[in-house]
Structure 1
Amino acid sequence: MKRVFAVLSLAFLLPFAAVHAADEIAFVDLQEVFKQFYKTQLAQDQIRQQADDIKLEREEIEAEVKVMKDEIEMLRADSRDETLSEEVRDNKRDQLEEKLVELQQKESDMAEFEKLRMEQMEQQNTRMTKKLFDEIHEVIIQHAKAQGYSAVVDRSAQSRIGTEMILYTSPKVDITADVLAVLNEGRQTSRETAPEFNVEDKGEE
């Protein structure tokens, strides 16, 4: 009788356990996935390279500005040099005024250039980030469907005051490593073929 009861109990519990597993909620550290995704690292390398290019361009403009300032100081000194004729000093003053206007325009152009380039880089970084998160999101969805999870929660989410919203997650339902494994499958192939990760879509100007 006890054996029959045990068999009946097992028959009752097995379907319940299967349903429970299918309805299980999984957790993922989305920030860690984004950070460790190899395409994120490639894209960030491109952003850093652009930042270096902007810095180099700015240094070149600053060097031109310095030359202009040196010329202005020489013209200012010559315009006050009593050993020079009045005609020469007048000519130096005219050149000085022209150089001052030129310098003002150059400095304005430099400020505008830096603002524009930084805005372009920020926009590109935003597009790159969205593109990567979209790819990560799709992998998480496909993995969750394959494993039968009813929902996936981002355990890296924080409250408004900066505290963690998910205080504990069982390793059994943490799929961070699984998601990274899928995302980084193409890393070795990418290193061998060295493709360029395209984040250059500038969108509408």
Structure 2
Amino acid sequence: MIRRLTPFLVAAVLGGTALAQDAKLKIATVDMQQLFKEYYRTEEAQQQVNVERARIQKELNERQTRVQEIEEELKKLRKMMEDPSINDSKKQEIQRDWGMKQNEGIAIDRERREFQQRRTQALNEKMVQRMKGILEEIRKLVEEQAKKEDYDYVFDKSGLSTSQVPFLLYTKDATDITPTLLVDLNKDAPKDGATTPAATSGEGE
């Protein structure tokens, strides 16, 4: 998730007025990945996603169980059709039942696979939007802190290029504002032992 959203994290540049040539820039760095990972709302979001995934899996298991039950019923019907003691009229009836049962199993299995794809896609989209919202909260806090401390530039030191090389290789006299921001982000975090309300509403089918 964090890697997919890395472009969203790339260095926020603040300030816009031209500086005198001999002016000294006031620069700060921030570790956006650390802020994202250690923000309590990120963990809450992940817990809610895990609850929803477990709910989806439970429903998938129930559908799979029904498919397996039909497979067992089909085996019994096939044995009956192969029984030489059963007359042709009865065998034709059993064959019709077998065909209907087979179609039922195919339909249920197809619905199960469509259900899995639909619900998983919806959950993934929901998670991406939630994480983007959290990242936007963090970005705004970084901007507010930068303005408050009158920084000219704030660079994300966790940002990587497409070749996985850090964008920020060296800064002189830069202040790391990550610890200060972490304190601010987690000031309203639940106390130890407090439970996070789990998502109770399922995604629509």
On whether the aligned pair clears a TM of 0.5, the verdict is yes
Cα gap change, 1:116 to 1:80, in 2 (>3 Å): same
**For the Cα contact (< 8 Å) 2:39–2:182, is it kept in 1?**
yes
> How far, CA to CA, are the matches of 2:174 and 2:67 in structure 1?
62
- Higher helix fraction (1 or 2): 1
Give the TM-score normalised by structure 2.
0.80
Task: Tell whether 2:62 aligns with 1:76.
Answer: no
Give the TM-score normalised by structure 1.
0.80
Q: Secondary structure, in 3 states, of the residue corresponding to 1:57?
A: helix
> How far, CA to CA, are the matches of 1:167 and 1:89 in structure 2?
79
The equivalent of 1:115 in structure 2 is: 117
The equivalent of 2:17 in structure 1 is: none
Q: Secondary structure, in 3 states, of the residue corresponding to 1:50?
A: helix
Q: In the TM superposition, what is the alpha-carbon distance from 1:184 to its structure 2 partner?
A: 0.4
Runs of 4+ aligned structure 1 residues displaced above 3 Å come to 168-172, 188-192, 194-198
> How far, CA to CA, are the matches of 1:36 and 1:71 in structure 2?
52
The equivalent of 1:187 in structure 2 is: 189
Amino acid at match of 2:186: N
Residue 62 of structure 1: which of 61, 64, 72 is its match? 64
Q: In the TM superposition, what is the alpha-carbon distance from 1:191 to its structure 2 partner?
A: 6.9
For residues 10-159 of structure 1, the aligned pairs below 5 Å read 20=24, 23-159=25-161
Q: Secondary structure, in 3 states, of the residue corresponding to 1:186?
A: coil
Cα gap change, 1:54 to 1:160, in 2 (>3 Å): same
Q: In the TM superposition, what is the alpha-carbon distance from 1:166 to its structure 2 partner?
A: 1.8
Q: Percent identity?
A: 25
> How far, CA to CA, are the matches of 2:133 and 2:155 in structure 1?
20
Amino acid at match of 2:125: Q
**For the Cα contact (< 8 Å) 2:29–2:174, is it kept in 1?**
no
**For the Cα contact (< 8 Å) 2:27–2:174, is it kept in 1?**
no
The equivalent of 1:9 in structure 2 is: none
RMSD: 2.6
Amino acid at match of 1:32: Q
Q: Secondary structure, in 3 states, of the residue corresponding to 2:28?
A: strand
Cα gap change, 1:75 to 1:195, in 2 (>3 Å): closer
> How far, CA to CA, are the matches of 1:171 and 1:150 in structure 2?
13
The equivalent of 2:180 in structure 1 is: 178
> How far, CA to CA, are the matches of 1:34 and 1:105 in structure 2?
43
Q: Which has the higher contact order (CA 8 A, sep 6+)?
A: 2
> How far, CA to CA, are the matches of 1:63 and 1:197 in structure 2?
27
The equivalent of 1:6 in structure 2 is: none
Cα gap change, 1:144 to 1:164, in 2 (>3 Å): same
Q: In the TM superposition, what is the alpha-carbon distance from 1:197 to its structure 2 partner?
A: 8.2
Amino acid at match of 1:139: L
> How far, CA to CA, are the matches of 1:197 and 1:144 in structure 2?
35
**For the Cα contact (< 8 Å) 2:78–2:98, is it kept in 1?**
yes
Amino acid at match of 1:119: Q
**Larger Rg, first or second structure (1 or 2):** 1
Gaps of 5+ in 2: 1-19
Amino acid at match of 2:139: H
Cα gap change, 1:30 to 1:111, in 2 (>3 Å): same
**For the Cα contact (< 8 Å) 2:27–2:153, is it kept in 1?**
yes
Size of the aligned set, in residue pairs, is: 183
